[in-house]
Chains A and B, each alone.
Chain A
């Protein structure tokens, strides 16, 4: 399947600092990228949807000034957690959707990155 990478895979930071997470589609152009958060033993929660070159659309209850999303190119989206606090500790996962010729150009499929585990002390 299509490959989506995330960096870093895990990060530990002090409360009040900002953390940037990168999401890259490696073998296809991602017209849309999604950012999810998953707490232990819970399902994925969509945070925001971003389309290349436009502002992200945030889900209700997600603070756009705290979770800054930039989708500058068809292969890269970044999520910055600003002034992180312990309650922001979670598993952050991006996914990407776009034309994937190797799978018969199925547009609707989303492929997930490996996730970033954030721990805020």
Chain B
């Protein structure tokens, strides 16, 4: 049974701080990893994808992957109130569908 685990939160950070979101996965065969952002009542929006060990940066977002530890994280620098949402971690192996974590709710306090 594949599992993707996230701390459900809520995670609260002050505006301008770095928000750190963590995710672990059980299937060592997982090759692709994704972070989605979901605002309340809306569908998920892809933020980052990462396939190789190390860091991948895109604007204020940095995804970090450590396959040996089966760990993937998302850092949000200079957090803004508009970043307040639920962040979903997902993995995919080969041609299979996405396996989602239950999400971490982030609140950025002005």
Contacts and interface: CB of A to CB of B under 8 A. Distances in A.
Contacts of B101: 43
Contact of A113 (B43, B49, B88): B43
B43 A93 contact: yes
A105 to B, nearest CB: 13
A46 B102 CA distance: 13
B2 to A, nearest CB: 12
B45 interface: yes
B81 interface: no
A45 B42 CA distance: 15
Contacts of B32: 108
Contact of A43 (B46, B51, B88, B97): B88
Interface residues of A, number: 20
A106 B49 contact: yes
A108 B92 contact: yes
A114 B43 contact: yes
A110 B46 contact: yes
B25 interface: no
9 contacts: A34-B97, A42-B102, A43-B88, A44-B44, A44-B88, A44-B100, A49-B97, A112-B45, A114-B43
Interface of B: 32, 34, 36, 41-46, 49, 51, 88, 92, 97-98, 100-103
Interface of A: 1, 34, 42-44, 46, 49, 91, 93, 95, 106, 108-115, 117
